[in-house]
Amino acid sequence: MALIRLDKFISERTEYSRSNIKELAKKGQLSVNGIVEKAADRKIDSDKDTVSVLGKTISSQRYRYILLNKPAGYVCSTDDKDGKTVMKLIPPDMRTKDMFPAGRLDKDSLGALLITDDGDLAHRILSPKHHIPKIYIVKLDRPFQNKYVDIFKKGIALSNGEQCLPALVRKAENSDLLAFIQLNEGKYHQVKRMFASVDNHVETLMRVSVGGLILPEKLACGQCMELLHKDVENLFRPIDFEAFCSDFSAFFSALLINK
């Protein structure tokens, strides 16, 4: 049994402040196990009770893990001064005050982005020590050339001399202009700069996996979903690039070709 005050439970898991919650309670907009609850200070059992705000069930997980299929035009930041942030795409009942993007995609990039308030997990994801591989599909300006496979495998040097770790690359299905690339690191604009180093240009970039966590087919661009802690552990599972490309090439190619 994990007893906790209703207002504390909600404020830890959403963006609502304690005073917002009191107001909502007065208006009859909170419920516990389907019954309207007007006392925001009552205790609930966070392991068993189902709490809803404005008719939406609040997840009982202490930390929240949101997988967003990022659209173009949003920055990976919590600070609005750089433009519209990805945080705007998370509905209020899924968002908490301490959330931040655990990773970066450029403003014009698309695809899988984890947003969480679990600082320890974010640290594990972002720490170079863990080398979580990330797979991207890109739409190129010029046809893919097979020589990229060896050049990227050896570790390419970028135009400013920065050395990249070995990376895997492969042409995608259905088009010479589409390729999958797997990186084990995250330098600034790395994928775009790697293709620029072989005289090509990335027109569109979509991240399709972070570690073993694959962007679900059902998650449309701009949508997000909550993950359970056990799903998030998939991040740390190894992923087989060749098997991934065989299984998902047709699906992700079809998505990107029309972008």
Residues that bind ligand URA (CB under 6 A): 105-106, 109, 189-192, 205
In the bound state with ligand URA, the residue whose beta carbon lies nearer, of 99 and 205, is 205
In the bound state with ligand URA, the residue whose beta carbon lies nearer, of 110 and 245, is 110
Place of tokens 């189902």: 50
Q: How far is the CB of 235 from ligand URA (least distance, A)?
A: 17
14 close to 62: Cβ distance less than 8 angstroms: no
Residue 106 is among the residues annotated as catalytic for this protein: yes
In the bound state with ligand URA, the residue whose beta carbon lies nearer, of 40 and 138, is 138
114 close to 101: Cβ distance less than 8 angstroms: yes
Sheet with strand 30-32: strands edge to edge: 35-36, 30-32, 51-53, 56-57
Burial of 181 (0-12, 13-18, 19+ CB in 10 A): buried
In the bound state with ligand URA, the residue whose beta carbon lies nearer, of 122 and 205, is 205
- State the DSSP code for 55: T
Q: How far is the CB of 90 from ligand URA (least distance, A)?
A: 19
Q: How far is the CB of 222 from ligand URA (least distance, A)?
A: 16
Q: How far is the CB of 120 from ligand URA (least distance, A)?
A: 24
Name the strand (E) or helix (H) holding 195: helix 190-197
**Of residues 106, 108, 231, 247, which has the active-site annotation?**
106
- Catalytic amino acids? 106
